[in-house]
Amino acid sequence: MAISLYAASIPVFKQYLFALKDVLVKAEIQAAAMKVAPGVFLEARLHPTMFPLIRQVQIAADFAKGASARLAGLDLPAYPDTEASFSELTERIDRTIGFIDSIKPEQINGQEARAVEYKVAGQMRRYEGLPYLLTYALPNFFFHVTTAYAILRHNGIELAKKDFLGAA
């Protein structure tokens, strides 16, 4: 049995966005219990040259909505990067889930060869739909979700692998 492009994208993005949202909620609760200002976690990074937690979450959401829109041939919704709290980050995730939830399987299935073009750092990139999803969008999405999880775990938030994976 073959897997559809939709099944390899939308449900995967949703599962890990829900998990990321749950991780952020746990972090906010634990930060309060630890009497640590939320900003300490929100601005934390694994290395000085890496983005902080806030940006990692924003980028993860951007990859989910961007890949979903591109695969469906839709315009990308624009979200300003203004989040400054755990609740604002979870709202961004909710907005992203709402958007990708609106995409129907028939909008993505059969688009494996769809031309996907976009700019990264001023350079035009071009993929076909399936390679775009499998070799660019999903790896980048998982990188930023994983980094967000790692930042919180590294800074003392009690999380386990099941928190990262979410409800399968």
Is 129 within a domain? yes
> Which CATH number fits the domain that encloses residue 49?
1.20.120.450
For 52-101, how does the pLDDT look when each residue is reduced to its tens digit (9 = 90+)?
999 999 999 999 999 999 999 999 999 999 999 999 999 999 999 999 99
Task: Band the pLDDT of 167: cuts 50, 70, 90.
Answer: confident
Is 1 within a domain? no
List helix spans (H) across 35-157: 38-42, 53-72, 86-101, 105-108, 129-132, 138-154
Exposure letters 131-161 (e unless 16+ CB within 10 A, then b) = ebbeebbbebbeebbebbbbbbbebebebee
Domain of 55 in residue numbering reads as 12-165
Distance CA 133, CA 95 (A): 21
When comparing pLDDT for 2 and 135, which is higher? 135
Q: Please give the tally of structural domains in the chain.
A: 1
Q: What is the pTM of this model?
A: 0.96
In the numeric block, the tokens 């350079």 are attached to 123
Q: Is 107 exposed, middle or buried (0-12, 13-18, 19+ CB in 10 A)?
A: middle
Is 41 within a domain? yes
C-alpha dihedral, 118 to 78 to 146 to 106, nearest 10°? -70
Is 115 within a domain? yes
Is 5 within a domain? no
Is 146 within a domain? yes
Is 137 within a domain? yes
Is 80 within a domain? yes
Task: Band the pLDDT of 112: cuts 50, 70, 90.
Answer: very high
